[in-house]
């Protein structure tokens, strides 16, 4: 079980701009701005929050461009989209290994973790039902245990 990101976001090693350009995606100013935000903040912002952060850098950016860009990046596999609770979609850069999320019900904090054993059991369950897992969603919602 691990709780830290496998590798801290490293601007030098993870060059989505180049990757995307090679995939035929035009690197425009809004896209560059959004990519930088996702690279530099390892949290899980929603579209509006990304818009706010982007506006601070480039006030001419529009919310629809944020949404369009998030969809593009998701299609290209550069980000993951989550829907915690019933709230808006929240995003994170897709670099690093797969992980699941524990959401702090009191603070809203999102803690990443991964468990090979749980993954293995999920596969086992699916297989026994005649299925092959394409992706899954595992979210734990809880509160800090009071130290007594």
Partner DNA sequence: GTGGATGCAAACCGTTTGCAGAGGT
Partner DNA sequence: ACCTCTGCAAACGGTTTGCATCCAC
Binding-site sequence positions: 98, 100, 119, 136
Question: What minimum distance in Å lies between the beta carbon of 137 and DNA?
Answer: 15
If binding is defined by CB under 7 A, does position 84 make contact with DNA?
no
Residue indicated by tokens 């290209």: 76
Residue of 79, 3, 72, 98 lying closest to 37 (CA atoms) = 79
Per-residue binding string, a copy of itself, 18-47, x by CB under 8 A, is ------------------------------
Token representation of residue 51: 């818009």
Q: Which residues are annotated as a binding site for Fe cation?
A: 98, 100, 119, 136
Phi-psi region of 123 (alpha: psi -120 to 50; beta: other; left: phi over 0): alpha
Could you give the CA distance from residue 60 to residue 81 in angstroms, rounded to a whole number? 25
Per CB under 7 A, the list member of 6, 10, 27, 144 interacting with DNA is 27
If binding is defined by CB under 7 A, does position 63 make contact with DNA?
yes
Token representation of residue 94: 């897709």
- Contacts with DNA by CB under 7 A lie at 21, 25-31, 46-48, 58, 60-65, 67-71, 87-89
């Amino acid at each position: 079980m691990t709780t830290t990101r496998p590798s801290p976001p490293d601007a030098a090693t993870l060059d989505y701009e180049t990757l995307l350009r090679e995939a035929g995606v035009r690197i425009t100013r809004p896209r560059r701005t959004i990519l930088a935000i996702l690279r530099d903040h390892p949290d899980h912002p929603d579209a509006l929050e990304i818009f706010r952060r982007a506006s601070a850098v480039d006030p001419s950016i529009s919310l629809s461009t944020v949404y369009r860009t998030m969809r593009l990046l998701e299609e290209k596999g550069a980000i993951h989209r989550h829907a915690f609770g019933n709230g808006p979609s929240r995003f994170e850069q897709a670099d690093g290994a797969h992980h699941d999320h524990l959401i702090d019900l009191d603070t809203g904090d999102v803690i990443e973790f991964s468990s090979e054993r749980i993954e293995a059991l999920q596969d086992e369950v699916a297989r026994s039902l005649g299925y092959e897992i394409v992706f899954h969603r595992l979210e734990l919602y809880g509160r800090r245990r009071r130290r007594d």
